[in-house]
A and B are shown apart, each in its own frame.
Chain A
Amino acid sequence: MTNEELIAKLKPIVASYAQDKAALEKIDKDTDFIKDLKINSANLVDVVLDVEEEFDIVIDNTSMEKMLSVGAAMDIIEAKLQEK
């Protein structure tokens, strides 16, 4: 999957929880879920659960703690897809 395809799949997931819609429109791999999109910690869990469902992967606690930006999420998704 290319980076563009990954971001295209992530954007609608994130859109349900992002409070800053302007930041959402400019989403790229440097976008921070909490600082830029203003997603709270409870909804960050929902982002991770939705990512698991969308990509049919399981995210462990260690990966979850790193998943704070779009780029970090992309790295984790890529790694988990490779493991399959």
Chain B
Amino acid sequence: MNKDEVLVHLPYSSPFLFVDELLELDEHKVIGTFTFSPSLDFYKGHFKNNPVTPGVILTETMAQIGLVCLGIYLSGSAENGLPGHVMLTSTAIDFLKPVFPGEKVTVQAEKIYFRFKKLNCTVQMTNQAGEVVCKGTIAGMVTNKMNG
């Protein structure tokens, strides 16, 4: 599978697609970017008159670029494999810096292991200044069905 084929298989659409572009993708790691449009709806309420990207959205962005793109690639590139669905099963994330409306972030994920359909990755998000804004580990099950 190539990068474009992986993007086509993502099961998300606006306003819940948090992947713009994949820069690198192989069996060990993935690097991708997303720009948070100031018009995203959650900025109206997080926070009142003080928009900051919610931590859950940063986590989701790392999960979509890191875990899900890598999971689709690994399952789709396996012998006789089909691009699977990825069901999020655990996250452990530290948040270091805020991400404001309009910022472009880069997510890099590296596979720790992919065994018995479970994909476990380290993930890290950096801002345009190259500063780490959040990082941690995310895991999920790569399945053939949407809900497990």
Contact = CB atoms under 8 A, between A and B. Distances in A.
Contacts of B118: 41-42, 45-46
A51 B148 CA distance: 24
Interface stretch (B10-18, B43-51, B77-85, B109-117): B109-117
Contacts, number: 22
A49 B140 contact: no
Q: Which 7 A-B pairs have the closest CB atoms?
A: A42-B89, A45-B118, A45-B116, A64-B116, A42-B141, A42-B118, A41-B141
B115 A45 contact: yes
Residue of B90, B118, B140, B148 with most partner-chain A CB within 10 A: B118
Chain B interface SS verdict (over half): strand
Interface of B: 89-90, 113, 115-118, 139-141, 148
B32 to A, nearest CB: 23
A42 B139 contact: yes
Nearest to A60: B116
A54 B67 CA distance: 27
A61 B89 contact: no
B92 to A, nearest CB: 13
Binding site of A, secondary structure by majority: helix, strand, loop or mixed?
A: helix
Nearest to B88: A42
Interface residues of A, number: 10
Nearest to B118: A45
A46 B90 CA distance: 12
Nearest to A40: B89
Interface string A53-70: 000000001001000000
15 contacts: A41-B89, A41-B141, A42-B89, A42-B140, A43-B89, A45-B115, A45-B116, A45-B117, A45-B118, A46-B118, A48-B116, A49-B113, A49-B115, A61-B116, A64-B116
A42 B90 contact: yes
A46 B117 CA distance: 11
